[in-house]
Amino acid sequence: MNNFSPNMLKTYQNCPKKYYYKYIQSINIPQSSTPFEKGKKIHALANYYLQKVDISRIQTALSVTEKEVWDTLLKNTFFQKECLKSEFQLTCKIDDFWIGGRLDAVVHDFENYYILDYKTGATPQNPEYDYQTMIYLLCLDKYLEKYESLSFVYLNLKEQKNHIIKFNPEIKQQYEQKIIQTCKTVTSDNTFNCNRTDCRHCEYSKLCYIPTESPAQRLID
Ligand code: SF4
């Protein structure tokens, strides 16, 4: 049985065909890693820091921009709370489906818990209903069982803004329904058709025989 991660459900939502290539056929097409490098370093450093590893030498290897981002994270009030877990792999079962993923960190003050997600790029467009938000909150709700409050916090380190989503019984019900519905759609799909035409930046476009860019677009770029 599948264990659905936020990326799997997001991929399916964007293009069922891409989901088919990536998660059913296991075809992985390498992508340029440059935009992800800064994010990866900050995530690794945050994990060491929260696990109380001495990071003084690693910090000296940061570029000026990376150091600015790191300082922003250190000053963030949520990041300064007590850490429960860092780089925390969590799964749970909703209806017939296993869902889960790796949480950047879970922090708390007394019985108030916060899932932290560090963003060196953009925060999701609709963070309340992003699959990552829904899956992580549902998993931590099951894991903790008892708490006073539970929230998901996107720490946007570029814009120096926090986006906080509070969990409650009403939103829990909505999330469960949405996740069950999406998982049912994915597992019952046997065609994985997609009518998308804006495929210019898709790494699977060659498999779909869709040109990555038109001659006119090449001139614009
Ligand atoms: S090229 Fe378009 S249709 Fe094909 S997998 Fe990518 S997004 Fe989907």
End-to-end CA distance of the chain: 44
How far apart CA 148 and CA 110 sit, in angstroms, is 9
- Looking at residue 98, its pLDDT comes to 98
Q: Which residues pair with 115 in a beta bridge?
A: 106, 152
Residue 218 Cα to ligand 1 midpoint, Å, equals 19
192 lines ligand 1 (CB under 6 A): no
How far apart CA 191 and CA 63 sit, in angstroms, is 47
Strands of the chain, DSSP E: 3-4, 82-94, 97-109, 112-119, 149-156, 161-166
- Looking at residue 2, its pLDDT comes to 74
Q: Which segments of the chain have a pLDDT < 70?
A: 1, 32-36, 210-221
Q: Which residues of 172-202 are buried (b: 16+ CB within 10 A; e: fewer)?
A: eeebeeebeebbeebeeeeebebeeeebeeb
40 lines ligand 1 (CB under 6 A): no
- Looking at residue 215, its pLDDT comes to 47
Q: Which residues pair with 99 in a beta bridge?
A: 4, 92
Question: Does residue 26 come out as left (phi exceeding 0), alpha (psi in the -120 to 50 range) or beta?
Answer: left
Nearest to 153 by CA among 119, 178, 176, 109: 119
Nearest residue (CA) to ligand 1, atom 5? 18
- Pocket test of ligand 1: the residue of 10, 11, 15 to mutate, having most ligand atoms within 8 Å of its CB, is 15
How far apart CA 200 and CA 198 sit, in angstroms, is 6
How far apart CA 82 and CA 35 sit, in angstroms, is 30
- Looking at residue 209, its pLDDT comes to 72
- Looking at residue 74, its pLDDT comes to 97
- Looking at residue 36, its pLDDT comes to 64
- Looking at residue 34, its pLDDT comes to 58
The answer to whether 46 touches 83, Cβ cutoff 8 Å, is no
List of domains in the chain:
32-190 (3.90.320.10)
- Looking at residue 35, its pLDDT comes to 57
Nearest residue (CA) to ligand 1, atom 1? 205
- Pocket test of ligand 1: the residue of 12, 23, 193, 199 to mutate, having most ligand atoms within 8 Å of its CB, is 199
205 lines ligand 1 (CB under 6 A): yes
204 lines ligand 1 (CB under 6 A): yes
Ligand 1 atom closest to residue 203's alpha carbon, by position in its atom list: 6
- Looking at residue 194, its pLDDT comes to 85
20 lines ligand 1 (CB under 6 A): no
pTM: 0.91
- Looking at residue 29, its pLDDT comes to 87
- Pocket test of ligand 1: the residue of 13, 18, 25 to mutate, having most ligand atoms within 8 Å of its CB, is 18
Distances from the Cα of 12 to the Cα of 40, 64, 114, 131, angstroms = 24, 37, 28, 11
Ligand 1 atom closest to residue 18's alpha carbon, by position in its atom list: 5
Residue 15 Cα to ligand 1 midpoint, Å, equals 6
Interval 125-166: pLDDT, tens:
999 999 999 999 999 999 998 999 999 999 999 999 999 999
22 lines ligand 1 (CB under 6 A): no
